[in-house]
Structure formats: structure tokens, C-alpha cells
Structure 1
């Protein structure tokens, strides 16, 4: 079973002088008015909405990721990362040690990008330069000008200095290990990492990219485990097959 968390960075039309990524929403659904749940992009708003700090109070204090981590209702499936100045800097998914032992996920072959910290396994993506999140952070003007962020850096190692910059333009994906799937309505053109018909499912990178009009404006987590959270979607095999249509991977592979 594939469990997916969809993360959108822009849902509104671009206008001159407006940031390219002007929003942060999670959880896909066919009805954009009942899903695509907007998330707070400042610590002040997060606290107002019931999010609480988890992990060290010092930005990047754990050494395993950069930023201050906030969750709501004790649900690590949606962990928001903020810089030292309280502006959105990234997003993280966490699986408690107990749940990992129960499900057998993540496999050892996925550690990293999953890193064990504070009794949970986390996978992190950053929207701003990871090296500056806890050293400089962003100013209010930079947040206003840039919006949610400027790029996506996926943490691929045990420390936040080990990251991979995701191509922001679809044309720049060529020549990488990202494999094009199909365009799915209200989501975009899917890309999956290094998928093959005979791949070892324990090595399946649980990340997909989404491009609209040639531009990166969303991505998501995709986990091969039965994980409980209202933020997950549980697509059927037919839906998964649609997203893989342009690949040589069978639609029921790793599901």
C-alpha cells in the first residue's frame, strides 16, 4: 500500500512582483475546497493554530536537521520547519520508533535519507538554503519577496549539509535519475526517482516531484507502509498506475 502526503507550494496565479511560491498546503483531494489544507508559514501563526515545538529549542540543535520543528496534535506526519527568525524553511515527515518497528519501515536501505533523532525517523526537505536556516534565517522582507521559499533541497544524508537540490525547471530534469510519469489533474506531471521494473522496493525513494507548466510547484512523500495520519492519501493501484503511465514500471510494483 502506498501512503502519500502531497505538498503544494503555489496554488494562486502569479502576478508581477509576487513570489513564485506563495502558499504551503498539504493533502491532495479531487475537491480543492475540502483538501489542500493551508499551513502556517510563520512560528507565530503556527502557535496560534496549535502547533508545538518538538526537539531542541535551539535552531538545528539536534544536528540531524536544520530548523525548529513544530507539529500539531502529536502528529509527526506533518512537521513544519522554521528558521531562526520564525519563517517557514522546510517540511519534515517523522515516524516514531514504535511505529517503525511495527511496520518495518523505513528499511535500513533508506537510512539515510531517513535519520533517527529524538526517538523517531525523519526525512526532511528545505525551501530555503539549509546552510542559512539556523545561522542567518530570513528577514521579513525576504519572506515577503520570496514567499514560501526559493528552491527545494532534499536532505539525502545524515546531516543537513548533505542535500540534493531539486531541478526547479522541468527541462533540467533530463539527464538525472528522476523518471517522468504522467500528468494527473490538480497535481501535475509526476517524477519518481530511479524507478525500474525490477527494483528493490526497500530502496524506493519516498519522494515524487510535480511540475506544472514546466515549473516545480509541488512535491510529495510516498511511503510503502501503513502509517496513520489524516494527512495521508491512500490511492488505489489504478491511481498509482496513472501516475506511472509513461514509465516502464508495472502499476502494481511496490504496492
Structure 2
């Protein structure tokens, strides 16, 4: 009858609509999943943080550093140079107001973070392991009236720091930066710049960097060490690279000597054996005598685990 036919037709329409609804839902879910995965890739590439100093206890390390020049000023940082000074290092440069400042933060002409320097106090120069005067990564300078050596890393192309700088939009989307470049010489001419791959896979064929060990809340380390206990410390590059899930996660300054200041880490021999595969004997000897000073610099969340 008509009533039965009407019910059957409505039932058919309802099932048809249900199938259609499920199809649309599936398409929406697939689209959403794609956007989430795309966002995850972008998140893996954006550097949304700038922290220094590993610690076994979170409240005694992983210090957040100001990424805006105005924040540095409000936190009491002292400007030591700017673009008008014609220094070997471009940018407005600030040191924290400590008795023993360990870092210099570099900002571009628009006040956005552009790089960082580590300060090696002159008390560490004659340690018998590295001749700082002969290493181009170490550049002499004077800070607070004291002679020091500086090592320098840029998070943007150093050529733009004193020219265009970054825009607000670029800072908001890129965060701390978009590259890692070390100044291995007295100025920022191209021959003195060492650019680091952002993707770990691109580092695999390097003759300079070798994969070492992963450590919780640090990441996977790369050194210019070749798994030889007899290797000389005189050739050790003052930087470690750290990767997490295939992407550059940050880096580590490393210097022989027990440098003063709260931002330095002084790893014991046991920790070194968990970070360096077949560590050179000279590093273990240095730890037992003059000491070793390191500083992790993070571009993202420091929380990480190892496989």
C-alpha cells in the first residue's frame, strides 16, 4: 500500500543520505588529517624557542633567552655594539647583566633575534689542549674591559642583519630563525661561513660531521670526531650539532677549560661516554684536569626522548 511504499522509500532515502553523509565525513577527515600532517611538518621546521643550558633538573636549566631586542633591554641586558660600529660581527649585540656573561645575543635592524655568541674567558686560553689563537672559529674581542674569544652562530643570513633585517611576518612564521651558520673567520665574507643542514639526512654524507649518541632532553649529537680514542683534541671543532626526529634541533658550544658563569655545563666523564661514541682519551683527560665547558642551545622544545 501507499503507507508501506512511503516508508520503504523514506528508508531508502535515509540509507542513501547516511551513505552520502559517511562519504562526506570521510572526505572531511582525510582533509583534516592532511592539514594536521602539513601543520606537523611546518611545526617541525619552525623554531619557536631559544633556550640555553641542559640540566638534569628542569628548574635549574633550559633558560629562555629574549628573542626581541626590546625584551633584552627590559630584562637588563647591556648593548655592547650595533650596526653603526663597523664591528666584525653585524647587528645590535647584547650581554646579560651577570658578573660573568657567557653569551652575546645578536639582533637585526628591526630588533629580531639573529644569532648568538659564546664568550670564552681569557683564563681558559692556556689549557694545553687547544690553542685558541690558531683557531679561526675563535675571534678575539673585548667585553666589559676584558679580553675574550668569541664563537659566533647566526640564525639568519648575516648579510641581512644590518640591511633589511626580518619583517614581523617573517619572525612570526620562522621564529628564532631559518638557518644555522657559523662564522669561521674574522668577518662574514662567504669564505668564512659554515652553513649547517637543517635535515639530518643531508648530513649523512658529510666527511666532517659524524653521528654519535642520543641523550634524553638533548637529542642526537653530531661531532667532528671519528670514533678513535687516540684522536687529537687539537682538531676538535668547538660545536656539536643536535637533531631530533630528523630535523635540526639546536647545537652545543664546547670549549676546553672550566669557564665561569651559570649558563655553562660541566659534564663529567660518565656523561661524555653517553654522548660520544668511543670518546677520545684527551677529552676524558681534560675533564679530569682543566675541565670542559658546554652549552646546549635549543630552537624548539627541549623535551626529547631517544629510541
TM-score above 0.5 = yes
Report the Cα distance in structure 1 between the residues aligned to 2:273 and 2:159, rounded to whole angstroms.
38
TM superposition shift of 1:223: 1.1
1:32 to 44, 58, 62: 58
2:256 aligns with: 224
The C-alpha deviation readout for 1:124-149, integer Å capped at 9, x for no partner, is 00001111111211111111111000
- The 1:224/1:133 distance shift into structure 2, 3 A limit, reads same
- The 1:106/1:41 distance shift into structure 2, 3 A limit, reads farther
TM superposition shift of 1:190: 0.6
2:86 to 44, 61, 67: 61
More helix by share: 2
Higher Cα Rg, which structure: 2
Give 3-state SS (helix, strand or coil) of 2:93's partner: strand
Please say if 1:150 is aligned against 2:178.
yes
Please say if 1:121 is aligned against 2:149.
yes
Q: How does 1:1-255 map to 2 (within 5 A)?
A: 20-54=46-80, 56-58=81-83, 61-63=86-88, 65-74=89-98, 75-97=100-122, 99-101=123-125, 103=127, 107-108=131-132, 110-118=134-142, 119-161=147-189, 162-176=192-206, 177-195=208-226, 196-245=228-277, 247=278, 249=280, 252=284, 254-255=286-287
- The 1:121/1:249 distance shift into structure 2, 3 A limit, reads closer
TM superposition shift of 1:193: 1.6
TM-score normalized by the length of structure 1: 0.84
The C-alpha deviation readout for 1:8-37, integer Å capped at 9, x for no partner, is xxxxxx758656100100111123344211
Report the Cα distance in structure 1 between the residues aligned to 2:126 and 2:97, rounded to whole angstroms.
21
Q: How many residues align?
A: 238
TM-score normalized by the length of structure 2: 0.71
Does 106-115 or 138-147 show the bigger shift?
106-115
Contact 1:100 1:106 in 2 (8 A): no
2:27 aligns with: none
Give 3-state SS (helix, strand or coil) of 2:274's partner: helix
- The 1:106/1:135 distance shift into structure 2, 3 A limit, reads farther
Q: Give 5+ residue unaligned stretches, structure 2.
A: 1-38, 288-307
Contact 1:110 1:203 in 2 (8 A): no
More strand by share: 1
The C-alpha deviation readout for 1:183-214, integer Å capped at 9, x for no partner, is 10011101112444333212211110111101
Does 158-167 or 190-199 show the bigger shift?
190-199
1:6 aligns with: none
Give 3-state SS (helix, strand or coil) of 1:117's partner: strand
TM superposition shift of 1:120: 2.2
Contact 1:59 1:66 in 2 (8 A): no
Report the Cα distance in structure 2 between the residues aligned to 1:167 and 1:131, rounded to whole angstroms.
19
TM superposition shift of 1:227: 0.7
Q: Whose relative contact order is higher, 1 or 2, with alpha carbons under 8 Å and at least 6 apart?
A: 1
Report the Cα distance in structure 2 between the residues aligned to 1:205 and 1:16, rounded to whole angstroms.
31
Report the Cα distance in structure 2 between the residues aligned to 1:237 and 1:202, rounded to whole angstroms.
19
Contact 1:103 1:226 in 2 (8 A): no
TM superposition shift of 1:108: 4.0
Give 3-state SS (helix, strand or coil) of 2:250's partner: strand
